[in-house]
Chain A
Protein backbone atom coordinates (compact mmCIF):
# COMPACT_ATOMS: atom_id res chain seq x y z
CA UNK A 1 0.00 0.00 0.00
CA UNK A 2 2.64 2.41 1.11
CA UNK A 3 4.03 4.51 -1.73
CA UNK A 4 1.14 3.77 -4.07
CA UNK A 5 0.13 7.41 -4.02
CA UNK A 6 3.63 8.47 -4.96
CA UNK A 7 3.36 6.38 -8.11
CA UNK A 8 -0.10 7.65 -9.02
CA UNK A 9 0.83 11.28 -8.46
CA UNK A 10 3.96 10.91 -10.55
CA UNK A 11 1.88 9.43 -13.38
CA UNK A 12 -0.73 12.19 -13.05
CA UNK A 13 2.01 14.82 -13.26
CA UNK A 14 3.36 13.20 -16.43
CA UNK A 15 -0.10 13.37 -18.02
CA UNK A 16 -0.63 16.95 -17.00
CA UNK A 17 2.82 17.95 -18.23
CA UNK A 18 2.24 16.15 -21.50
CA UNK A 19 -0.93 18.14 -21.92
CA UNK A 20 0.75 21.39 -20.92
CA UNK A 21 3.46 20.82 -23.50
CA UNK A 22 0.99 21.21 -26.39
CA UNK A 23 0.46 19.17 -29.58
CA UNK A 24 -2.34 17.53 -27.67
CA UNK A 25 -4.14 15.24 -30.11
CA UNK A 26 -7.42 13.39 -30.02
CA UNK A 27 -5.45 10.21 -29.44
CA UNK A 28 -3.68 11.79 -26.46
CA UNK A 29 -6.98 12.85 -24.99
CA UNK A 30 -8.42 9.39 -25.50
CA UNK A 31 -5.40 7.85 -23.77
CA UNK A 32 -5.75 10.27 -20.86
CA UNK A 33 -9.48 9.56 -20.61
CA UNK A 34 -8.74 5.85 -20.51
CA UNK A 35 -6.16 6.32 -17.77
CA UNK A 36 -8.51 8.50 -15.73
CA UNK A 37 -11.34 6.04 -16.03
CA UNK A 38 -9.19 3.22 -14.66
CA UNK A 39 -9.69 4.34 -11.09
CA UNK A 40 -10.84 7.10 -8.81
CA UNK A 41 -7.31 7.21 -7.52
CA UNK A 42 -6.07 8.32 -10.94
CA UNK A 43 -8.93 10.76 -11.31
CA UNK A 44 -8.53 12.57 -7.99
CA UNK A 45 -4.74 12.73 -8.29
CA UNK A 46 -5.05 14.32 -11.72
CA UNK A 47 -7.78 16.76 -10.62
CA UNK A 48 -5.72 17.88 -7.67
CA UNK A 49 -2.58 18.57 -9.70
CA UNK A 50 -4.55 20.19 -12.49
CA UNK A 51 -6.32 22.51 -10.03
CA UNK A 52 -3.04 23.60 -8.48
CA UNK A 53 -1.43 24.11 -11.88
CA UNK A 54 -4.40 26.24 -12.94
CA UNK A 55 -4.01 28.33 -9.83
CA UNK A 56 -0.50 29.10 -10.97
CA UNK A 57 -2.13 30.87 -13.92
CA UNK A 58 -2.54 33.75 -11.50
CA UNK A 59 1.05 34.45 -12.33
CA UNK A 60 -0.26 35.63 -15.67
CA UNK A 61 -1.13 38.85 -13.85
CA UNK A 62 2.57 39.52 -13.83
CA UNK A 63 2.57 39.29 -17.58
CA UNK A 64 -0.34 41.67 -17.90
CA UNK A 65 1.75 44.30 -16.17
CA UNK A 66 4.60 43.62 -18.52
CA UNK A 67 2.47 44.16 -21.60
CA UNK A 68 0.97 47.36 -20.30
CA UNK A 69 4.41 48.80 -19.73
CA UNK A 70 4.95 48.27 -23.47
CA UNK A 71 8.11 46.30 -22.84
CA UNK A 72 9.52 44.66 -25.95
CA UNK A 73 8.37 41.08 -26.43
CA UNK A 74 11.84 39.68 -25.90
CA UNK A 75 12.81 41.91 -22.99
CA UNK A 76 15.22 40.35 -20.52
CA UNK A 77 13.43 38.58 -17.73
CA UNK A 78 12.80 41.03 -14.92
CA UNK A 79 13.96 40.21 -11.44
CA UNK A 80 11.23 38.24 -9.75
CA UNK A 81 10.72 40.58 -6.84
CA UNK A 82 10.36 43.60 -9.09
CA UNK A 83 7.78 41.86 -11.18
CA UNK A 84 5.89 40.79 -8.10
CA UNK A 85 5.88 44.32 -6.77
CA UNK A 86 4.72 45.67 -10.12
CA UNK A 87 1.96 43.12 -10.32
CA UNK A 88 0.83 43.85 -6.80
CA UNK A 89 0.65 47.53 -7.66
CA UNK A 90 -1.45 46.67 -10.69
CA UNK A 91 -3.69 44.42 -8.67
CA UNK A 92 -4.05 47.12 -6.03
CA UNK A 93 -5.07 49.61 -8.71
CA UNK A 94 -7.58 47.13 -10.07
CA UNK A 95 -8.85 46.48 -6.57
CA UNK A 96 -9.48 50.20 -6.04
CA UNK A 97 -11.19 50.49 -9.41
CA UNK A 98 -13.18 47.38 -8.56
CA UNK A 99 -14.17 48.76 -5.18
CA UNK A 100 -15.51 51.88 -6.86
CA UNK A 101 -17.58 49.78 -9.20
CA UNK A 102 -18.91 47.73 -6.34
CA UNK A 103 -21.35 50.49 -5.55
CA UNK A 104 -23.16 49.70 -8.73
CA UNK A 105 -22.37 46.04 -9.24
CA UNK A 106 -21.79 43.72 -6.31
CA UNK A 107 -18.98 41.25 -6.83
CA UNK A 108 -16.80 40.72 -9.82
CA UNK A 109 -19.30 38.31 -11.30
CA UNK A 110 -21.85 40.03 -13.47
CA UNK A 111 -25.12 38.71 -14.74
CA UNK A 112 -26.81 39.42 -18.04
CA UNK A 113 -30.14 38.15 -19.23
CA UNK A 114 -32.80 38.53 -21.87
CA UNK A 115 -36.55 38.10 -21.60
CA UNK A 116 -38.60 35.90 -23.92
CA UNK A 117 -38.26 37.39 -27.39
CA UNK A 118 -35.25 39.49 -26.36
CA UNK A 119 -31.82 39.60 -27.94
CA UNK A 120 -28.79 41.42 -26.68
CA UNK A 121 -25.07 41.69 -27.31
CA UNK A 122 -22.64 42.08 -24.43
CA UNK A 123 -19.17 43.40 -25.23
CA UNK A 124 -16.23 42.88 -22.92
CA UNK A 125 -13.08 44.88 -22.38
CA UNK A 126 -10.92 42.11 -23.85
CA UNK A 127 -12.71 42.46 -27.20
CA UNK A 128 -14.86 39.37 -26.80
CA UNK A 129 -18.57 39.54 -27.51
CA UNK A 130 -21.48 37.42 -26.46
CA UNK A 131 -24.84 37.63 -28.17
CA UNK A 132 -27.69 36.39 -26.02
CA UNK A 133 -30.71 34.90 -27.72
CA UNK A 134 -34.24 34.82 -26.31
CA UNK A 135 -34.82 33.88 -22.66
CA UNK A 136 -31.13 33.52 -21.87
CA UNK A 137 -29.05 34.18 -18.79
CA UNK A 138 -25.30 34.22 -18.29
CA UNK A 139 -22.91 35.06 -15.51
CA UNK A 140 -19.53 36.44 -16.46
CA UNK A 141 -16.35 36.57 -14.46
CA UNK A 142 -13.75 38.45 -16.45
CA UNK A 143 -10.68 39.15 -14.38
CA UNK A 144 -7.07 39.82 -15.30
CA UNK A 145 -6.35 36.14 -14.80
CA UNK A 146 -9.48 34.34 -15.94
CA UNK A 147 -12.36 34.61 -18.34
CA UNK A 148 -15.25 32.46 -17.25
CA UNK A 149 -18.85 32.40 -18.39
CA UNK A 150 -21.70 30.36 -17.02
CA UNK A 151 -24.61 29.85 -19.37
CA UNK A 152 -27.39 29.27 -16.89
CA UNK A 153 -30.24 29.36 -19.38
CA UNK A 154 -30.90 29.62 -23.09
CA UNK A 155 -28.60 30.19 -26.03
CA UNK A 156 -25.66 32.44 -26.75
CA UNK A 157 -23.22 33.05 -29.56
CA UNK A 158 -19.62 33.64 -28.53
CA UNK A 159 -17.06 35.62 -30.47
CA UNK A 160 -13.92 35.20 -28.44
CA UNK A 161 -10.74 37.23 -28.63
CA UNK A 162 -8.23 34.45 -28.30
CA UNK A 163 -5.53 34.84 -25.66
CA UNK A 164 -3.58 31.72 -24.81
CA UNK A 165 -2.54 33.16 -21.44
CA UNK A 166 -6.15 33.73 -20.42
CA UNK A 167 -8.31 30.84 -21.50
CA UNK A 168 -11.94 31.58 -22.14
CA UNK A 169 -14.10 28.94 -20.53
CA UNK A 170 -17.86 28.49 -20.80
CA UNK A 171 -19.63 26.30 -18.28
CA UNK A 172 -23.06 24.96 -19.13
CA UNK A 173 -25.08 21.98 -17.94
CA UNK A 174 -22.13 20.35 -16.24
CA UNK A 175 -19.96 20.73 -19.31
CA UNK A 176 -16.93 22.84 -19.89
CA UNK A 177 -16.18 24.49 -23.21
CA UNK A 178 -12.69 25.84 -23.59
CA UNK A 179 -12.03 28.30 -26.37
CA UNK A 180 -8.99 27.86 -28.52
CA UNK A 181 -9.64 30.88 -30.75
CA UNK A 182 -13.17 30.90 -31.80
CA UNK A 183 -16.73 31.74 -32.78
CA UNK A 184 -19.20 29.28 -31.37
CA UNK A 185 -22.78 28.77 -30.32
CA UNK A 186 -23.93 27.23 -27.06
CA UNK A 187 -27.53 26.32 -26.42
CA UNK A 188 -28.98 24.52 -23.45
CA UNK A 189 -32.40 22.96 -23.26
CA UNK A 190 -34.01 21.03 -20.46
CA UNK A 191 -31.95 17.91 -21.02
CA UNK A 192 -29.30 18.61 -23.64
CA UNK A 193 -26.51 20.97 -24.40
CA UNK A 194 -25.53 21.86 -27.93
CA UNK A 195 -22.24 23.40 -28.97
CA UNK A 196 -21.84 24.41 -32.61
CA UNK A 197 -18.46 25.59 -33.78
CA UNK A 198 -18.42 28.18 -36.56
CA UNK A 199 -14.76 29.18 -36.59
CA UNK A 200 -11.53 28.23 -34.83
CA UNK A 201 -11.57 25.42 -32.31
CA UNK A 202 -13.03 24.63 -28.93
CA UNK A 203 -12.74 21.74 -26.56
CA UNK A 204 -15.93 20.38 -25.05
CA UNK A 205 -15.64 18.19 -22.01
CA UNK A 206 -17.47 16.76 -19.09
CA UNK A 207 -16.89 18.78 -15.95
CA UNK A 208 -13.42 17.46 -16.44
CA UNK A 209 -11.65 14.44 -17.81
CA UNK A 210 -13.22 13.27 -21.03
CA UNK A 211 -13.28 15.96 -23.67
CA UNK A 212 -13.40 16.35 -27.43
CA UNK A 213 -11.88 18.89 -29.74
CA UNK A 214 -14.36 20.40 -32.20
CA UNK A 215 -13.51 21.54 -35.69
CA UNK A 216 -15.49 24.17 -37.61
CA UNK A 217 -18.85 22.74 -38.63
CA UNK A 218 -18.89 20.28 -35.75
CA UNK A 219 -21.95 20.25 -33.58
CA UNK A 220 -21.73 18.49 -30.24
CA UNK A 221 -24.95 17.48 -28.56
CA UNK A 222 -24.42 16.39 -24.98
CA UNK A 223 -26.67 15.00 -22.32
CA UNK A 224 -25.55 14.33 -18.77
CA UNK A 225 -24.39 10.89 -19.86
CA UNK A 226 -23.16 11.16 -23.40
CA UNK A 227 -21.99 13.37 -26.21
CA UNK A 228 -22.58 12.96 -29.93
CA UNK A 229 -20.74 14.98 -32.53
CA UNK A 230 -22.20 15.57 -35.97
CA UNK A 231 -21.10 17.68 -38.89
CA UNK A 232 -23.09 20.56 -40.37
CA UNK A 233 -22.55 22.35 -43.64
CA UNK A 234 -21.84 26.11 -43.53
CA UNK A 235 -25.34 26.54 -44.90
CA UNK A 236 -26.93 24.57 -42.06
CA UNK A 237 -24.83 26.43 -39.52
CA UNK A 238 -25.96 29.76 -40.94
CA UNK A 239 -29.57 28.60 -40.53
CA UNK A 240 -28.81 27.70 -36.96
CA UNK A 241 -27.58 31.24 -36.36
CA UNK A 242 -30.40 32.97 -38.23
CA UNK A 243 -31.87 34.19 -34.93
CA UNK A 244 -29.14 36.79 -34.95
CA UNK A 245 -31.06 38.37 -37.83
CA UNK A 246 -34.36 37.97 -36.01
CA UNK A 247 -35.55 35.07 -38.14
CA UNK A 248 -35.71 31.29 -37.97
CA UNK A 249 -34.85 29.23 -41.02
CA UNK A 250 -36.23 25.73 -41.43
CA UNK A 251 -35.36 23.21 -44.08
CA UNK A 252 -37.67 20.21 -43.84
CA UNK A 253 -38.24 20.49 -40.11
CA UNK A 254 -41.31 18.79 -38.60
CA UNK A 255 -44.04 21.25 -37.68
CA UNK A 256 -43.73 20.24 -34.01
CA UNK A 257 -40.09 21.33 -33.99
CA UNK A 258 -40.89 24.63 -35.69
CA UNK A 259 -43.60 25.31 -33.11
CA UNK A 260 -41.22 24.47 -30.26
CA UNK A 261 -38.61 26.82 -31.69
CA UNK A 262 -41.06 29.70 -32.11
CA UNK A 263 -42.32 29.09 -28.58
CA UNK A 264 -38.88 29.94 -27.26
CA UNK A 265 -39.36 33.49 -28.53
CA UNK A 266 -42.99 34.14 -27.69
CA UNK A 267 -45.21 34.16 -24.65
CA UNK A 268 -48.16 32.94 -26.64
CA UNK A 269 -47.39 29.25 -27.15
CA UNK A 270 -48.18 27.15 -30.19
CA UNK A 271 -49.72 23.77 -29.43
CA UNK A 272 -49.98 21.10 -32.13
CA UNK A 273 -53.00 19.04 -31.11
CA UNK A 274 -52.63 16.39 -33.80
CA UNK A 275 -49.80 13.87 -34.09
CA UNK A 276 -50.18 13.71 -37.87
CA UNK A 277 -49.93 17.46 -38.27
CA UNK A 278 -46.93 17.52 -35.94
CA UNK A 279 -44.97 15.55 -38.53
CA UNK A 280 -45.67 17.83 -41.50
CA UNK A 281 -42.44 19.08 -43.03
CA UNK A 282 -41.84 22.83 -42.97
CA UNK A 283 -39.53 24.75 -45.26
CA UNK A 284 -39.21 28.46 -44.84
CA UNK A 285 -38.02 31.52 -43.01
CA UNK A 286 -40.11 33.05 -40.24
CA UNK A 287 -39.65 36.07 -38.05
CA UNK A 288 -39.08 35.01 -34.45
CA UNK A 289 -41.74 37.45 -33.20
CA UNK A 290 -44.39 36.88 -35.82
CA UNK A 291 -46.53 33.97 -34.62
CA UNK A 292 -49.51 35.28 -36.49
CA UNK A 293 -47.68 35.34 -39.81
CA UNK A 294 -46.64 31.76 -39.17
CA UNK A 295 -50.15 30.56 -38.34
CA UNK A 296 -51.51 32.29 -41.44
CA UNK A 297 -49.14 30.22 -43.54
CA UNK A 298 -49.97 27.03 -41.65
CA UNK A 299 -53.64 27.66 -42.29
CA UNK A 300 -53.16 28.44 -45.97
CA UNK A 301 -50.55 25.85 -46.90
CA UNK A 302 -51.37 22.89 -44.70
CA UNK A 303 -55.12 23.57 -44.45
CA UNK A 304 -54.93 23.21 -40.68
CA UNK A 305 -57.29 24.72 -38.14
CA UNK A 306 -55.86 27.48 -35.98
CA UNK A 307 -57.61 28.44 -32.76
CA UNK A 308 -56.42 31.41 -30.69
CA UNK A 309 -57.04 30.74 -26.99
CA UNK A 310 -55.28 33.74 -25.53
CA UNK A 311 -52.09 32.41 -23.97
CA UNK A 312 -51.91 29.64 -26.54
CA UNK A 313 -52.70 28.92 -30.14
CA UNK A 314 -53.96 25.42 -30.88
CA UNK A 315 -53.27 23.94 -34.31
CA UNK A 316 -55.28 20.91 -35.39
CA UNK A 317 -56.68 19.22 -38.46
Chain B
Protein backbone atom coordinates (compact mmCIF):
# COMPACT_ATOMS: atom_id res chain seq x y z
CA UNK B 1 0.00 0.00 0.00
CA UNK B 2 2.72 2.41 1.01
CA UNK B 3 4.70 1.57 -2.10
CA UNK B 4 2.22 2.62 -4.69
CA UNK B 5 2.30 6.42 -4.37
CA UNK B 6 6.08 6.30 -4.16
CA UNK B 7 6.34 4.28 -7.35
CA UNK B 8 3.85 6.48 -9.11
CA UNK B 9 5.73 9.62 -8.22
CA UNK B 10 8.97 8.12 -9.36
CA UNK B 11 7.63 7.17 -12.75
CA UNK B 12 6.05 10.60 -13.10
CA UNK B 13 9.45 12.14 -12.43
CA UNK B 14 11.06 9.96 -15.02
CA UNK B 15 8.51 10.76 -17.67
CA UNK B 16 8.87 14.44 -16.87
CA UNK B 17 12.61 14.28 -17.26
CA UNK B 18 12.46 12.35 -20.50
CA UNK B 19 10.03 14.67 -22.31
CA UNK B 20 12.23 16.39 -24.85
CA UNK B 21 11.49 20.03 -25.43
CA UNK B 22 14.35 21.58 -27.35
CA UNK B 23 15.71 24.81 -25.93
CA UNK B 24 15.10 27.93 -28.04
CA UNK B 25 17.63 28.17 -30.81
CA UNK B 26 18.86 24.61 -30.41
CA UNK B 27 17.40 23.44 -33.71
CA UNK B 28 19.01 26.28 -35.65
CA UNK B 29 22.29 25.72 -33.88
CA UNK B 30 22.19 22.00 -34.66
CA UNK B 31 21.47 22.60 -38.35
CA UNK B 32 24.04 25.36 -38.67
CA UNK B 33 26.91 24.04 -36.56
CA UNK B 34 26.57 20.28 -36.19
CA UNK B 35 25.04 18.86 -39.37
CA UNK B 36 27.80 20.30 -41.59
CA UNK B 37 30.26 18.11 -39.63
CA UNK B 38 28.48 14.93 -40.66
CA UNK B 39 30.66 14.15 -43.68
CA UNK B 40 33.80 14.21 -41.54
CA UNK B 41 32.10 12.30 -38.74
CA UNK B 42 31.08 9.60 -41.19
CA UNK B 43 34.63 9.43 -42.49
CA UNK B 44 35.81 8.97 -38.92
CA UNK B 45 33.19 6.35 -38.09
CA UNK B 46 33.81 4.36 -41.25
CA UNK B 47 37.39 3.84 -40.22
CA UNK B 48 36.20 1.62 -37.39
CA UNK B 49 35.33 -0.98 -39.99
CA UNK B 50 31.80 -1.29 -38.72
CA UNK B 51 28.86 -1.96 -40.99
CA UNK B 52 26.52 0.73 -42.33
CA UNK B 53 23.78 0.04 -39.82
CA UNK B 54 26.20 0.31 -36.87
CA UNK B 55 27.64 3.52 -38.25
CA UNK B 56 24.18 5.05 -38.63
CA UNK B 57 23.45 4.11 -35.02
CA UNK B 58 26.69 5.68 -33.85
CA UNK B 59 26.05 8.88 -35.77
CA UNK B 60 22.57 9.08 -34.33
CA UNK B 61 23.91 8.52 -30.80
CA UNK B 62 26.51 11.22 -31.28
CA UNK B 63 23.80 13.68 -32.31
CA UNK B 64 21.69 12.73 -29.31
CA UNK B 65 24.58 13.21 -26.88
CA UNK B 66 25.59 16.50 -28.49
CA UNK B 67 22.05 17.84 -28.27
CA UNK B 68 21.59 16.69 -24.69
CA UNK B 69 24.74 18.57 -23.74
CA UNK B 70 23.92 21.62 -25.86
CA UNK B 71 20.44 21.78 -24.36
CA UNK B 72 22.09 22.98 -21.14
CA UNK B 73 24.99 24.87 -22.63
CA UNK B 74 26.16 25.27 -26.20
CA UNK B 75 29.71 23.95 -26.53
CA UNK B 76 32.22 26.28 -28.08
CA UNK B 77 34.08 25.63 -30.27
CA UNK B 78 31.70 23.04 -31.65
CA UNK B 79 33.87 20.82 -33.75
CA UNK B 80 36.35 19.51 -31.15
CA UNK B 81 33.42 18.90 -28.82
CA UNK B 82 31.50 16.85 -31.37
CA UNK B 83 34.55 14.75 -32.17
CA UNK B 84 35.30 14.24 -28.51
CA UNK B 85 31.74 12.94 -28.09
CA UNK B 86 32.29 10.64 -31.07
CA UNK B 87 35.52 9.34 -29.66
CA UNK B 88 34.12 8.74 -26.19
CA UNK B 89 31.20 6.89 -27.66
CA UNK B 90 33.50 4.66 -29.68
CA UNK B 91 35.63 3.94 -26.63
CA UNK B 92 32.53 3.05 -24.62
CA UNK B 93 31.31 0.74 -27.33
CA UNK B 94 34.69 -0.87 -27.86
CA UNK B 95 35.05 -1.58 -24.16
CA UNK B 96 31.60 -3.04 -23.94
CA UNK B 97 31.56 -5.08 -27.10
CA UNK B 98 35.20 -6.11 -27.32
CA UNK B 99 34.94 -5.73 -31.07
CA UNK B 100 37.13 -2.85 -31.95
CA UNK B 101 40.42 -2.32 -30.22
CA UNK B 102 40.63 0.87 -28.25
CA UNK B 103 43.79 1.80 -30.09
CA UNK B 104 41.92 1.91 -33.35
CA UNK B 105 39.63 4.45 -31.81
CA UNK B 106 42.36 6.60 -30.38
CA UNK B 107 44.12 7.71 -33.53
CA UNK B 108 41.96 10.71 -34.23
CA UNK B 109 45.01 12.63 -35.33
CA UNK B 110 45.67 10.19 -38.12
CA UNK B 111 42.49 11.35 -39.74
CA UNK B 112 43.84 14.80 -40.27
CA UNK B 113 40.66 16.53 -39.29
CA UNK B 114 41.74 20.05 -38.58
CA UNK B 115 40.03 21.11 -35.38
CA UNK B 116 40.85 24.75 -35.67
CA UNK B 117 39.92 25.12 -39.31
CA UNK B 118 36.41 26.36 -39.90
CA UNK B 119 33.93 23.68 -40.85
CA UNK B 120 32.51 23.52 -44.33
CA UNK B 121 31.84 27.02 -45.57
CA UNK B 122 28.61 28.09 -43.94
CA UNK B 123 27.91 30.79 -46.44
CA UNK B 124 28.06 28.58 -49.49
CA UNK B 125 27.19 30.63 -52.49
CA UNK B 126 23.71 30.10 -53.79
CA UNK B 127 24.87 28.59 -57.05
CA UNK B 128 27.21 26.14 -55.36
CA UNK B 129 24.44 25.05 -53.09
CA UNK B 130 22.09 24.65 -56.03
CA UNK B 131 24.70 22.63 -57.89
CA UNK B 132 25.21 20.43 -54.87
CA UNK B 133 21.52 19.78 -54.39
CA UNK B 134 21.22 19.17 -58.11
CA UNK B 135 24.05 16.62 -58.01
CA UNK B 136 22.39 14.80 -55.12
CA UNK B 137 19.09 14.85 -56.97
CA UNK B 138 20.68 13.32 -60.05
CA UNK B 139 21.71 10.32 -58.00
CA UNK B 140 18.20 9.53 -56.78
CA UNK B 141 16.30 6.70 -58.41
CA UNK B 142 14.54 8.14 -61.50
CA UNK B 143 10.99 7.94 -60.14
CA UNK B 144 11.95 9.47 -56.79
CA UNK B 145 13.83 12.22 -58.63
CA UNK B 146 10.81 12.97 -60.78
CA UNK B 147 8.58 13.19 -57.71
CA UNK B 148 10.98 15.63 -56.01
CA UNK B 149 11.20 17.80 -59.13
CA UNK B 150 7.44 17.95 -59.50
CA UNK B 151 7.16 18.88 -55.85
CA UNK B 152 10.01 21.35 -55.42
CA UNK B 153 10.31 22.87 -58.88
CA UNK B 154 6.81 22.69 -60.27
CA UNK B 155 5.19 23.09 -56.88
CA UNK B 156 2.59 20.43 -57.56
CA UNK B 157 0.48 18.96 -54.78
CA UNK B 158 0.86 15.29 -53.95
CA UNK B 159 -2.41 14.58 -55.69
CA UNK B 160 -1.19 16.29 -58.85
CA UNK B 161 2.11 14.43 -58.66
CA UNK B 162 0.24 11.15 -58.37
CA UNK B 163 -1.90 11.85 -61.39
CA UNK B 164 1.01 13.21 -63.42
CA UNK B 165 3.10 10.11 -62.71
CA UNK B 166 0.17 7.75 -62.95
CA UNK B 167 0.69 6.35 -59.47
CA UNK B 168 -1.17 6.39 -56.16
CA UNK B 169 -0.49 8.95 -53.43
CA UNK B 170 0.79 6.08 -51.36
CA UNK B 171 3.48 5.46 -53.93
CA UNK B 172 4.25 9.19 -54.01
CA UNK B 173 4.78 8.89 -50.26
CA UNK B 174 7.15 6.01 -50.88
CA UNK B 175 9.22 8.02 -53.39
CA UNK B 176 9.25 11.18 -51.27
CA UNK B 177 10.33 9.44 -48.06
CA UNK B 178 13.06 7.57 -49.95
CA UNK B 179 14.20 10.85 -51.48
CA UNK B 180 14.22 12.67 -48.12
CA UNK B 181 16.45 10.06 -46.55
CA UNK B 182 18.79 9.73 -49.51
CA UNK B 183 19.12 13.52 -49.80
CA UNK B 184 20.04 13.79 -46.11
CA UNK B 185 22.68 11.09 -46.48
CA UNK B 186 24.15 12.78 -49.54
CA UNK B 187 23.87 16.43 -48.52
CA UNK B 188 25.21 15.89 -45.01
CA UNK B 189 26.92 12.51 -44.95
CA UNK B 190 29.18 13.07 -47.94
CA UNK B 191 31.81 15.71 -48.55
CA UNK B 192 30.89 18.44 -51.06
CA UNK B 193 31.77 17.57 -54.62
CA UNK B 194 31.46 13.85 -53.98
CA UNK B 195 30.88 11.93 -57.15
CA UNK B 196 29.17 8.56 -57.29
Contacts and interface: CB of A to CB of B under 8 A. Distances in A.
Interface string A46-84: 011101110111111111001000000000010010011
Given A1-B57, A94-B126, A164-B155, 9 more contacts: A3-B53, A14-B173, A39-B64, A40-B64, A56-B148, A59-B130, A63-B152, A206-B21, A207-B23
B131 A49 contact: no
Given A21-B158, A83-B153, A144-B126, A210 B28 contact: no
Contact of B35 (A36, A51, A84, A144): A51
A143 B129 CA distance: 13
Contact of B67 (A1, A43, A61): A43
Contacts of B22: 43, 206-209
Dominant secondary structure at the A interface: helix
Interface stretch (B72-80, B103-111, B177-185): B177-185
Contacts of A37: 19-21
Contacts of A207: 22-28
Contacts of A49: 180-181, 184
Given A17-B180, A44-B30, A52-B180, A88 B155 contact: no
> Which among A80, A95, A207 has the greatest number of chain B C-beta atoms within 10 A?
A207
Range, interface on chain A: 35 or more
A314 interface: no
Contact of B153 (A44, A60, A206, A224): A60
A4 interface: yes
27 contacts: A1-B57, A2-B54, A5-B60, A9-B56, A20-B151, A20-B158, A37-B19, A41-B60, A41-B64, A42-B20, A44-B60, A48-B188, A52-B184, A52-B188, A55-B129, A55-B133, A58-B130, A59-B130, A59-B134, A61-B130, A95-B127, A144-B126, A145-B126, A174-B23, A174-B24, A208-B27, A209-B27
Interface in B14-62: 18-28, 30-31, 35, 53-54, 56-57, 59-60
Nearest to A108: B126
A77 B164 CA distance: 11
B94 to A, nearest CB: 14
A95 B54 CA distance: 42
Contacts of A66: 153
Interface in B148-188: 148-155, 157-158, 169, 173, 176-177, 180-181, 183-184, 187-188
Contact of B180 (A13, A59, A208): A13
Nearest to A98: B126
Nearest to A173: B24
